[in-house]
Structure 1
Amino acid sequence: MATDLVYPVCQSLTEKSFASDIEKLSLKFPTTTPSSSFTVNTETATNGTKKSKIHTLILDLGDVLFHWTGKDLQALSPQDFRAVILSSTWTELECGKVSEDKAIESIGKELSLDPNAIKQALAQCRGTVRVDQELLDQLVELKKEMNGHLKVYSMTNSSKDDFALLKATLSDWSLFDGEFTSYEAGLSKPELGYYKHVIDRIGLRDPSSAIFVDDKEVNVNAASSFGLQGMVFRSPASLIRQLRNRLSDPVTRARQYMMQNAHNHISCIENGPEFRDAFSQFLIHWELKEAQYLSLSPPGASKAEIKAVIEQASAEAKTWNYFIGDPVGTTKTFPDDIDDTATALLAFSPPAASANKVLDKIAASRHPRDNLALNYFCDGRHRVCPYVITNVVRAFYHYNRGADVKPEFEHVRRILLNRGYVDGAEAYTSADVFLYFLSCLVDANPTAPEIQSLRKPMAAALRERVGRREDSVSTTARVLACQKLGVWAQSDVQYLKELQESDGGWEIGWVCRYGRSRKRIGSRGVPTAWAIKALEFEAQHQK
């Protein structure tokens, strides 16, 4: 039985054995500079033009594409069977040094086991070998999508007979451009010489252009030492997602997702229904300024109707409601709110003549004692929120009326300096979203000294949060905020790329939440739009 199909072999290896391998083989490790992004499909030729880059995928077989089960073993206990296939003699068999009969006889003596029982156990396991056809089909499709720019090779620890079994189990091997086996190489993973053998046979000049997939960390570690992009196999879905993210341009895929879902970037309640809201559309448009993705209209509206509403939002200011249509998950009636209204002014920037009337209405909607802008245009809801107030300050400064929101600005400043945002707020869960809103204020007002006084404490606050692995909205918000203020966040950029789904969009992130039920409200459109802006910024500033 191929050890690729059974158990990890890392226990049998030591640092000393690795060092010995290096000395024996006099290996010269590639001195390539790791790519800052695994997702670029082109490289610059000597004449300055772009040419397609050939990528290589080196794929383990056992416990990745092929599987078996030892659940019903009868001839040997699972512990004894494991001891058999982890023995040094079994490794010799996989390297083609001994025959299976001699190996079984020798192992029987080593472990005091009946050779016939070992043979029966092997036969029982071999009878359960199967191929993951769904994963195979997805890999074939991925290779097809790469349009000739992906070579796929298998690299397995397998005896001659076991590999013949795999060949018989899978009738169509057209996915692979070549197959490498331990019995032919006379070496097995994670021996360094096996990797060098494969690299040399493939003719791989740039190891960083190759991805190595294996279910065992020790094998991936060895591959990474040569500069290969190591990937530990966790699940088929995770593998396909990671491969797409590394092989394809993330921005191109994200824009395709946004266009495929144009006019339908809806939100959803945590463990609840989907619905249409205006706020997510404003957040998308603020960063991308591409109205073709948006809809501020109810379901069933025609393209002409959708376009007309969006054009009206740019032509004339008004107060806005969070919901497009009837409220969902809250009270039957829901008032227009100041957060949506302020964000709409920022996203669409209607003329000052109409915007000032709306700003006057916001200025008149203040807490009777705290003198801060409220959340709602409603006398019965005297609630304030630092996130909402930040967007109010942004809107007033956008229309050169910063002097009208001095109390609000001072409140936001104190929240920042005293870290009053770290636990979120009634309607927001993410501290990073607060810092994002505030970074937009700082970025948009370079000549306002009172606003620029926030730049240094803002940068310090962001540095405190870089490296946190949170949801897609928090991550994209933090990356954008860092980019606007010039704060290093490369680790977050790399993590952001990992959150991209196979369909090109980002996984759901939590934009805000209901004040009463505390249920979060999620979106895929918002983090995808924000990721596009963040990754485009990164690409532009790497040139």
Structure 2
Amino acid sequence: MSRFKPTEANVSHIVFDLGGVFTDPPSNDVLLPTEDSLPVSVRRLTSTSTWMAYECGKLEEEECYQLLANQYGLQKGDLATAIQKGREASDYDHDLVAGLWAFKKSTPGVRLIMASNISLPDYTALQERWGPPFWSLFDYSFPSCKVGVRKPSPRFYRHLLRNTGASPSQTVFVDDRPENVLAAAGLGCEGFFSRLRMRSRGRCGVWSGTLWKEVLLILDTTSDSNLVELKRPQRFWNFFSGTPKYTTTQYPDDVDTTSLALASMPYSPEVVHSILDEMLDYVDEDGLVQLYLDRSRPRVDAVICLNVLTLFCIHSRGYQLPETTNWIQDILLHRAYLNGTRYYPTAEWFLYYLSRLLVRTDDQTLRDRFEAPLKQRIKERIGAGGDALCLAMRLLVCSALGIANPRDVETLRVAQLEDGGWEASFMYRFPGMGKELGNRGVTTAFAVRALQEQAGFERGGTVV
């Protein structure tokens, strides 16, 4: 991850988030009792579509609390008390603010901007609590409650750029969420993760059970059904094959796992097209497909959108997701993928899924649109380091584009263990719990295929 430092050259505006930049993320989540005796966390409540509507100014405070109380079977007063205690305990990083005041005085041409997803009552409370020493630091403030839309919607960023006169190429965004940084970078801005999010990362956790997503990745990569055991659901797939872990006890089906299954397993055209029709019902106002088949959990991820777009293109329906296609192109051209996405942590996830799209589509126009810039971007990544899965994905992109990459081949071979496999690599994030998990089987499947495909380039191909 990048660490933000005030920069002097060619920057006219620096945009800061609040939480996770000026404040530490909460160390302990608050659990509220419910009627069915299963507590619900405040973090879960503040990631619902109801709370997001509240942060956009579409709901009043009392109305928001009552809707959440009805939905989750909790007492409205318990939620109000928890939120109020959070406001009263909130403080900002005084050293960081002092440093930014010094920077601002020494660099008068640079404008500082606040941009945060926050409700009007919370915004008003923080204005009163933190006062002029904090708020007068900013030349502009863009709380979502007044903009009427939240990050990471492109509409939020366009509103900010339009109302400040900021040029994307001279604007820096500092945020604690990768999806917000990616959205800004996709418009041509420079994005940084906040320093307060840069905790020391523990070892990659290895899932002790089975995830359908991981089983399907092995199948999709190897095309060998003998390596996996699958039990088809009636319709949509779930990330978990059993009891969910690191998340809520009730976990909705999703379009990511479903798209992977439909692209790697035989399905009747009637079933596939009916599922594609239903997926279109989960396209948001920006034209991007939501992850979950649960409207209370609106989530968007660029890698997942690519996975869904691939499935639509396989069945000659890519034209139904034009905004997604344009967004993917912006991300590629502006290198917005470099710090990963909300759920997928490395640049190689995005580049691999894009190469997978080009391999599996019959749309020559799409290939003409993406192939040349993808070749340039993957060449930039050669020798960039990374774990075994990262290296394998990079090599698979190179193979798909006819590029030999002996440098990363050797690095991947050296990482092979005595038993012939590779260690589990960091595959995806669980943002709400701060968990990072991997799977040795997936890493090994990708590594074996990558080395097999690159072996053919030892006798020819474009060596970089």
Aligned counterparts of 1:539 and 1:502: Cα–Cα separation in 2:
20
2:451 alignment counterpart: 535
Select 1:274's aligned residue among 208, 221, 227.
208
1:336 aligns with 2:253: yes
Q: SS at the partner of 2:330? A: helix
SS at match of 1:425: coil
Offset of 1:488 from its aligned partner?
3.4
Alignment partner of 2:338 out of 412, 422, 426? 422
**From 411, 434, 446, the counterpart of 1:518:** 434
Q: How far is 1:477 from its partner? A: 0.7
Which string of whole-angstrom CA distances, capped at 9 and with x for unpartnered residues, describes residues 267-296 of structure 1?
xx9447522101111111112111111123
The structure-2 alpha-carbon separation of the partners of 1:531 and 1:272, relative to structure 1 and needing over 3 Å to count, comes to closer
Shift of 1:493: 0.9
Q: 1-side partners of 2:311 and 2:243: how far apart?
A: 27
Change (3 A) 1:380 1:525: same
The within-5 A match list for 1:105-254 is none
Q: Which residue of 2 aligns with 1:508?
A: 424
1:387 pairs, out of 303, 307, 310, with 303
Q: Distance in 1 between matches of 2:265 and 2:394?
A: 23
Q: What letter is aligned with 1:331?
A: T
Residues 370 and 397 of structure 1: is their aligned pair in 2 closer, same or farther, counting only changes over 3 Å? same
Structure 1 runs of 4+ with >6 Å offset: none
Secondary structure in structure 2 of the residue aligned to 1:454: helix
Amino acid at match of 2:272: A
Q: How many equivalent pairs are there?
A: 258
TM-score by structure 2 length?
Answer: 0.53
Q: Give, in whole Å, the separation in 2 of the partners of 1:405 and 1:385.
A: 15
The partner residue of 1:295 within 224, 229, 234 is: 229
Q: Distance in 2 between matches of 1:273 and 1:412?
A: 30
Q: Deviations over 1:140-185 (max 9, x none)?
A: xxxxxxxxxxxxxxxxxxxxxxxxxxxxxxxxxxxxxxxxxxxxxx
Say if 2:233 is the partner of 1:320: no
Root-mean-square deviation (CA, aligned residues, Å) is 1.9
Residue type of the alignment partner of 1:362: M
In the alignment, which residue of structure 2 is the partner of 1:142? none
Deviation at 1:457, TM superposition (A): 0.7
Q: 1:187 matched to which residue of 2? A: none
| Structure 2 Cα separation of the partners of residues 541 and 419 of structure 1 | 27
- Contact kept in structure 2, 1:443 and 1:485, CA below 8 Å: no
Is 1:461 aligned to residue 395 of structure 2? no
* Aligned residue in 1 for 2:347: 431
Q: Which of the two has higher C-alpha Rg? A: 1
- 5 Å matches for 1:60-75? none
Q: Could you tell me how far 1:469 is from its partner in structure 2?
A: 1.8
In the alignment, structure 1 residue 405 sits paired with structure 2 residue 321: yes
Superposed displacement of residue 431, structure 1: 0.8
1:162 matched to which residue of 2? none
Report SS of the residue matched to 2:375. helix
Inter-partner Cα distance in structure 1 for 2:449 and 2:218: 10
Q: Structure 1's 270 and 495: CA in aligned 2 closer, same or farther, altered over 3 A?
A: closer
What's the CA shift for 1:436? 0.2
**Equivalents in 1 of 2:352, 2:248: separation in Å?**
29
Name the SS of the counterpart of 2:427 in structure 1: strand
Report the 3-state secondary structure (helix = DSSP H, G, I; strand = E; otherwise coil) of the residue aligned with 2:343: coil
Cα 1:272–1:542 shift into 2, 3 Å: closer
Quick one: distance in 2 between partners of 1:439 and 1:274?
A: 30
CA contact (8 A) 2:405 2:454 kept: no
2-side partners of 1:540 and 1:418: how far apart?
A: 32
Inter-CA distance 475–291: structure 2 relative to 1 (3 Å threshold): same
Q: Distance in 2 between matches of 1:365 and 1:282?
A: 22
SS of equivalent to 1:535: helix
**How far, CA to CA, are the matches of 1:271 and 1:277 in structure 2?**
14
Aligned-pair CA distance for 1:451: 3.4
Could you tell me how far 1:448 is from its partner in structure 2?
A: 2.3
Give the equivalent residue in structure 1 for 2:395. Answer: 479
Identity of aligned residues (%): 29
User: Equivalent of 1:488, from 385, 404, 411?
Assistant: 404
Unaligned runs of 5+ in 1: 1-268, 297-308
| Correspondence for 1:374 | 290
Within 1, Cα distance between the matches of 2:310 and 2:207? 32
If the length of structure 1 is used for normalisation, what is the TM-score?
0.46
In the alignment, is the contact (CA less than 8 A) between 1:446 and 1:452 conserved in 2? no
Q: Does 1:354 pair with 2:266?
A: no
CA contact (8 A) 1:318 1:355 kept: no
Distance 1:446 1:366, change over 3 A: closer
Shift of 1:409: 1.0
- The structural deviation recorded for 1:487 is 2.7
- For structure 2, which runs of at least 5 residues remain unmatched after alignment? 1-202, 460-464
